[in-house]
Amino acid sequence: MPEEIIGSCAVKRLNILDPQGNADENLLPPLNGQDIRRLYELLVLSRTFDGRALALQREGRLGTYPSILGQEAAQVGSAFALEKSDWVFPSFREMGMHITLGYPMHLLYQYWAGDERGLATPTGLNILPICVAVGTHIPHAVGAAMAASYRGDRNAVVCYFGDGATSKGDFHEGLNMAGVFRAPVVFICQNNQWAISVPFDRQTAAPSLAQKAWGYGFEGIQVDGNDIFAVYRATRTALEKARNGGGPTFIECHTYRIADHTTADDASRYRPPEEVADWREKDPILRLRRFMTQRHLWDEAYERHVQEEATAAVDEAVHRAESAPKPAATEIFDYTNAELSPRQQRQRKEVG
């Protein structure tokens, strides 16, 4: 019998804004000048938060911290597309997403300083706790999306992770379930080219991570992760599809980790400096600034204002985080068991 083709895997790549700030007018998303300025301000605020976190860690005021330097557009652009009713499952490198959705920055500083109260998500924000274990939250996100579908809720779920997570079993199990049950979930992979010291070409033989979605029966798309308009447009399209019963989407944000993996890492031991220098030229903030300059949305006075506002907000967040009263010792008993055993009851009295 003759051979026949039963399917083919073609992955689209979306670019709208190039490194010089030139945009494809036909692909620009429907954002007005106020929206674009808000995106820029969120990028600057995220980077200011990140820079202060690195400084605080070096001063011994924070624990190990994973910088988002260079990845701000992938986070801000995607989060800006969400509706308030959508649910978010983050990994450990999404501070830009948290900030965009209104998560209090002082709580983020508390968390990275080792205070678990920093993960007490305020009412009204559908953000699950930060997941440090690589990829283990992916099946949970799919489960939440399936639950929303069964309930008839018009909600979508967004799950963030890095390229390293695509080599974990949780990733494949989660995507398989999402495809089979057409779950309303959007997978956002920040492919920053390095899973700690493992380069992309040692992570997979595939030319794109987005094509992995094809094996599970749904669409995968690659976007320029430093192009905030491309990230926003792709995420918005995927969310609308998910809410309308179209099933999951995998978005690969092709970006770069400018800083070390965490403050416990030294990337100079395994990463060529010319590679880092090349990616610095693709900086997402500089790219948007060039676009805004062309549209008369940016000037030096505006820049000073944005930087001053970001610095003041970060200063206040650091002060609030470090001024937080110490938790009562009895709190360890309050959220551990539904009912305390007689021994735990005695212990609670002893520390109370």
Q: Residue 243 burial by CB count (10 A; 0-12/13-18/19+): exposed, middle or buried?
A: middle
Distances, alpha carbon 81 to alpha carbons 19, 132, 243, in Å: 22, 24, 13
Q: Which helix (H) or strand (E) holds 223?
A: strand 219-224
Q: Is the pTM of this model over 0.85?
A: yes
Q: Which helix (H) or strand (E) holds 74?
A: helix 72-79
- Per-residue model confidence as pLDDT tens digits over 149-198: 999 999 999 999 999 999 999 999 999 999 999 999 999 999 999 999 99
Residue 328 is assigned to a structural domain of this protein: yes
Residue identified by tokens 């600034």 is: 289
Q: Which residues contact 330 (CB under 8 A, 6 or more apart)?
A: 348, 351, 352
- Per-residue model confidence as pLDDT tens digits over 106-140: 999 999 999 999 999 999 999 999 999 999 999 99
Residue 39 is assigned to a structural domain of this protein: yes
* Beta strands in 51-184, from DSSP E residues, in sequence order: 87-89, 157-162
- Per-residue model confidence as pLDDT tens digits over 1-18: 678 887 788 899 999 999
User: For residue 283, what pLDDT band results from cuts at 50, 70 and 90?
Assistant: very high
Start-to-end CA distance of the chain, whole Å, equals 79
Catalytic residue among 47, 233, 257, 289: 257
Residue 321 is assigned to a structural domain of this protein: yes
Residue 2 is assigned to a structural domain of this protein: no
Residue 7 is assigned to a structural domain of this protein: no
Among candidate residues 185, 53, 51, the one with its CA nearest the CA of residue 118:
53
DSSP state of 17: B
pLDDT at 24 over 90: yes
Q: CA dihedral defined by 39, 41, 46, 52, rounded to 10 degrees?
A: 170
Residue 307 is assigned to a structural domain of this protein: yes
Query: What is the SS3 assignment for 198?
Result: strand
CATH of the domain at 103: 3.40.50.970
Phi, psi dihedrals of residue 88, rounded to the nearest 5°: -125, 130
Determine the structural domain holding residue 301 and report its residue range: 12-351
Q: How many domains does the chain have?
A: 1
DSSP state of 208: -
- Per-residue model confidence as pLDDT tens digits over 57-95: 999 999 999 999 999 999 999 999 999 999 999 999 999
Residue 279 is assigned to a structural domain of this protein: yes
- Per-residue model confidence as pLDDT tens digits over 216-242: 999 999 999 999 999 999 999 999 999
Residue 302 is assigned to a structural domain of this protein: yes
Pairing of strands 87-89, 198-199: unpaired
Catalytic residue among 270, 280, 304, 346: 270
pLDDT at 337: 87
- Per-residue model confidence as pLDDT tens digits over 243-278: 999 999 999 999 999 999 999 999 999 999 999 999
pLDDT at 1: 63
Query: What is the SS3 assignment for 164?
Result: helix
pLDDT at 11: 92
Active site residue 256: no
Active site residue 257: yes
**Higher local confidence (pLDDT), 281 or 351:** 281
